[in-house]
Chains A and B, each alone.
Chain A
Amino acid sequence: DTGVSQDPRHKITKRGQNVTFRCDPISEHNRLYWYRQTLGQGPEFLTYFQNEAQLEKSRLLSDRFSAERPKGSFSTLEIQRTEQGDSAMYLCALGRGSYEQYFGPGTRLTVT
């Protein structure tokens, strides 16, 4: 148990639909990260929050992507008008300001 839950674990959607993923920290960590991982590659950084403030966004995070962390607890990642290239595992991780981070099990998105 890493102290992070993600929902849903799997999502299949049709191209053009919107999807939303949720990350729920079980324990308190002021930093929350989102990463994306495609098959055979390591995770890629998307964005991170310190408490409720979104402090950095990767160039990978196009205008179709938006993330929120209201009240500095859970976080949501929304993808609008999904494309086949969005198919990946979306991982949430918690940290306290170090390279030791605790990852959730991820949400696997398949866009058909």
Chain B
Amino acid sequence: LAKTTQPISMDSYEGQEVNITCSHNNIATNDYITWYQQFPSQGPRFIIQGYKTKVTNEVASLFIPADRKSSTLSLPRVSLSDTAVYYCLVGDMKMDSSYKLIFGSGTRLLVRP
């Protein structure tokens, strides 16, 4: 599985847009990029997944440049409740039949009033 690198922490204020970038220089052709969110004392929660270009859902957007060596999770107009740890994962949807998730240390986002 491709190794990912994310900032350890980020600070923001309510109402701002937050962009968390993840580097995955060794991403393979069949790898998909998946983001999870985890609040304290809860299990991680799936946010979004993509392969290339842009994916948007009701929670976030995921931007993936053409070379796919990085990806950016964009959270529009964050609120205090978006304070959490965000994990970027990459994995081979076709070859990895286990689909086990390999988490790094994630990015701790703190949203201030």
Instruction: Check if A and B associate.
Output: yes
B101 to chain A, nearest CB (A): 6
- Number of A-B pairs whose CB atoms are under 8 Å? 67
Interface size on B, residues (CB 8 A): 24
A108→B85 CA distance, assembly (Å)? 18
A62 at interface, CB cutoff 8 A: no
Q: Are B87 and A102 in contact (CB under 8 A)?
A: no
A41→B100 CA distance, assembly (Å)? 17
Residue in B closest to A102 when the chains form the complex, CB atoms: B46
Give the interface size class of chain A: 20 to 34
Contact partner of A42 (CB less than 8 A), chosen from B32, B46, B87, B100, is B87
Q: Are A99 and B103 in contact (CB under 8 A)?
A: no
Q: Are A98 and B98 in contact (CB under 8 A)?
A: no
Q: Are B98 and A99 in contact (CB under 8 A)?
A: no
A34 to chain B, nearest CB (A): 10
Contact partner of A56 (CB less than 8 A), chosen from B32, B98, B102, is B98
Contact partner of A48 (CB less than 8 A), chosen from B44, B87, B93, B100, is B100
Contacts of A101 in B (CB 8 A): 46, 99, 101
Contacts of B100 in A (CB 8 A): 33, 45, 48, 56
Tell me the A73-112 residues at the B interface (CB within 8 Å): 91-93, 95, 97-106, 108
Given A48-B98, A56-B98, A100-B49: A105 and B105 interface contact (C-beta under 8 Å): no
Q: Are B34 and A99 in contact (CB under 8 A)?
A: yes
A102→B47 CA distance, assembly (Å)? 11
Q: Are A99 and B43 in contact (CB under 8 A)?
A: no
Extra 4 A-B pairs, beta carbons < 8 Å, given A35-B101, A100-B49: A41-B103, A45-B101, A95-B99, A102-B46
